[in-house]
A and B are shown apart, each in its own frame.
Chain A
Amino acid sequence: RKEVEQDPGPFNVPEGATVAFNCTYSNSASQSFFWYRQDCRKEPKLLMSVYSSGNEDGRFTAQLNRASQYISLLIRDSKLSDSATYLCVSPYSSASKIIFGSGTRLSIRP
């Protein structure tokens, strides 16, 4: 099992739809998680941090399920500008282990 695994997609949904995707992780000791957004040929930018059970920021909700070892990202009322690749990150408590998932591609169509 990969340490951090994501469905590569692409997820192709209409504007205004709700879309969700998961990220599974293998190290149960991980304390915090992050979702990054990466636009084509650009650097990743932090979208949300998840330190406990979850986090909500406007249309975006991230949830952590420690029992099943996954985090999810839910996007409500999706916009065309949400089209991007979403990277899940599971850092361990030491700096040497920062594991990025390979990303989930999301495409919002008009």
Chain B
Amino acid sequence: DGGITQSPKYLFRKEGQNVTLSCEQNLNHDAMYWYRQDPGQGLRLIYYSQIVNDFQKGDIAEGYSVSREKKESFPLTVTSAQKNPTAFYLCASSPPLAGGNYNEQFFGPGTRLTVL
């Protein structure tokens, strides 16, 4: 089945450690995104990538890093520099922009990161 997978579903980390969240898609989408969601809040964009080997910072990129070596994969690293990393992390992908309209995004199931 086509879709987006994220792993792990739950992740616990000690303060000061880096951790990498996985995101894989087999939808052949060009664009991929990482969002953070805090309780009772909307989604905030961390990083996005429109093409392999290229990515851009979103609104809250500090303390995070990404790579896009393959079209299917867009891993997110939460570094020790991120001061408040406990959150729900969502990865999404979307097909190319078409006719001036923006295409919808398809989300993975998310990873809940808790810093102990």
Contact = CB atoms under 8 A, between A and B. Distances in A.
Contacts, number: 55
Interface in A85-103: 87, 89, 91-93, 95-96, 98, 100-103
A32 B43 contact: no
Given A43-B90, A44-B43, A44-B90, A92 B102 contact: yes
A102 B48 contact: no
Q: Is the interface of B mostly helix, strand, loop or mixed?
A: strand
B42 A31 contact: no
Interface string B85-116: 00010100000010011101111111010000
Q: Is the interface of A mostly helix, strand, loop or mixed?
A: loop
A51 B43 contact: no
Interface of A: 8, 31-32, 34, 41-46, 49, 51, 87, 89, 91-93, 95-96, 98, 100-103
Interface of B: 31, 33, 35, 40-45, 48, 50, 56, 58, 88, 90, 97, 100-102, 104-110, 112
